[in-house]
């Protein structure tokens, strides 16, 4: 029997492994049916489905594609070209991850539109807790009036929903976008008392051979110190207390400081709590507190 001559192989001819491929889509990969890349193997092909082969390709840093044929044979590929026709083979190209869309610009927090008389306003802030009563829907004018009529109220807040809360503490404050925080200003110190008028001179005694000299009038009491001198609003000196703070007004605190040689300053806060200080620095912001420096 004579030998049958064979035609030489044509590398460009399609590889026939079965009917047209019915490919399963895999997330993160572009699917091309009836195509493959000859060679460019990473490791050995093995029996696995498209999902398992994709997982293996994801773990291999040099894997850019893979194939799964009609026999269930999966092969990882290190390149995506040149492709060649291959009936029954599914060719999967790894896709670059899509860039997530940029978040929309955040709306700026509303600035406070109300600064009630007798209150200092701070935008985007509040005090956590410390509510005198359940918060309720009200505007800033209504909340300010309610705080004015409550001796325990030292501050209030209004948020972007129109919810007003009366507060018994003005610190520590926390960030609260969209919320306006109002701190009751310290009451102004009363003016120093006016000097008492001099006592009237006594009536002269009846004439006598040697009339006694009239006694001099007692000196009028000197006015008390005015605590309004060298005062700073919303400021205090941390620590440095000479003794425990106590309830007193600014005039009483000033008298106590004047009578104490170690006292250099004192504070009075919106609750009426006075503290004598042995130093004037460093200072720190404290809403609702007045700092008085001895001259």
DSSP string, 259-292: T-TT--EEEEETT-EEEEES---S-EEEEEEEEE
Whether domain 119-184 has CATH 3.90.1150.10: no
Query: What pLDDT, in 10s, does the model give residues 44-77?
Result: 999 999 999 999 999 999 999 999 998 899 999 9
**CATH top-level class of 15-94:** alpha beta
- Provide the token pair at 153: 């109220």
For the chain, the structural domain boundaries read 15-94, 119-184, 231-293
What end-to-end distance do the CA atoms of the chain give, in Å?
129
- Name the β-bridge partners of 265: 277, 293
What is the average pLDDT value for the chain, to the nearest integer? Answer: 80
Query: Would you identify the CATH topology of the domain 231-293?
Result: Hepatocyte Growth Factor (3.50.4)
**11, pLDDT greater than 50:** no
280 or 228, which is more confident?
Answer: 280
Distance between alpha carbon 244 and the CA centroid of its chain, in Å?
33
Distance between CA atoms of residues 27 and 38, nearest Å: 24
Is 167 buried (19+), middle (13-18) or exposed (0-12) by CB count in 10 A? buried
Q: 268, 259, 263: which is closest to 280 by C-alpha?
A: 263
List phi, psi (to 5°) of 182. Answer: -115, 125
CA quadruple 268, 273, 274, 280: dihedral positive or negative?
negative
Query: What pLDDT, in 10s, does the model give residues 220-245?
Result: 333 444 444 477 777 778 888 998 88
Confidence of residue 94 (pLDDT cuts 50, 70, 90): very high
244 or 92, which is more confident?
Answer: 92
Query: What pLDDT, in 10s, does the model give residues 157-169?
Result: 999 899 999 999 9
Angle at 227 between CA 225 and CA 228, to 5 degrees: 125
Q: What is the pTM of this model?
A: 0.32
Residues in Cβ contact with 259 at an 8 Å cutoff, skipping those fewer than 6 apart: none
Residue with tokens 């200072």: 283
Q: 278, 248, 243: which is closest to 263 by C-alpha?
A: 278
At residue 12, the pLDDT reads 41
Confidence of residue 269 (pLDDT cuts 50, 70, 90): confident
At residue 183, the pLDDT reads 92
- CB of 230 within 8 A of CB of 241? no
Q: What share of the chain is helix, strand, coil (3-state, %, to 5)?
A: 10, 35, 55
């Amino acid at each position: 029997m004579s030998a049958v001559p064979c035609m030489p192989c044509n590398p460009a001819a399609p590889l026939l492994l079965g009917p047209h491929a019915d490919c399963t889509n895999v997330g993160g990969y572009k699917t091309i049916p009836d195509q493959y890349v000859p060679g460019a193997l990473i490791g050995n092909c093995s029996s696995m489905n498209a999902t398992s082969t994709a997982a293996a390709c994801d773990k291999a840093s040099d894997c850019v594609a893979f194939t799964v044929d009609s026999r269930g044979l999966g092969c990882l590929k290190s390149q995506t070209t040149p492709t060649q026709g291959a009936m029954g083979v599914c060719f999967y190209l790894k896709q670059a991850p899509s860039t997530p869309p940029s978040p929309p610009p955040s709306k700026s927090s509303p600035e406070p539109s109300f600064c009630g008389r007798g209150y200092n306003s701070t935008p985007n802030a509040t005090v956590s807790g410390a509510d005198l009563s359940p918060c309720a829907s009200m505007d800033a004018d209504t909340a300010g009036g309610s705080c004015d009529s409550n001796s325990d109220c030292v501050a209030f807040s209004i948020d972007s929903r129109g919810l007003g809360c009366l507060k018994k503490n003005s610190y520590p404050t926390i960030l609260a976008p969209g919320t306006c925080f109002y701190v009751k200003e310290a009451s102004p110190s009363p003016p120093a008392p006016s000097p008492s008028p001099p006592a009237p001179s006594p009536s002269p005694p009846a004439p006598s051979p040697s009339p006694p000299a009239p006694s001099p009038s007692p000196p009028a009491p000197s006015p008390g110190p005015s605590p309004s001198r060298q005062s700073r609003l919303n400021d205090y000196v941390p620590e440095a207390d000479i003794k425990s703070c106590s309830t007193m007004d600014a005039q009483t605190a000033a008298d106590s400081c004047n009578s104490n040689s170690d006292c250099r300053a004192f504070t009075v806060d919106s609750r009426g709590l006075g503290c004598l200080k042995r130093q004037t620095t460093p200072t720190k912001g404290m809403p609702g507190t007045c700092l008085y420096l001895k001259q």
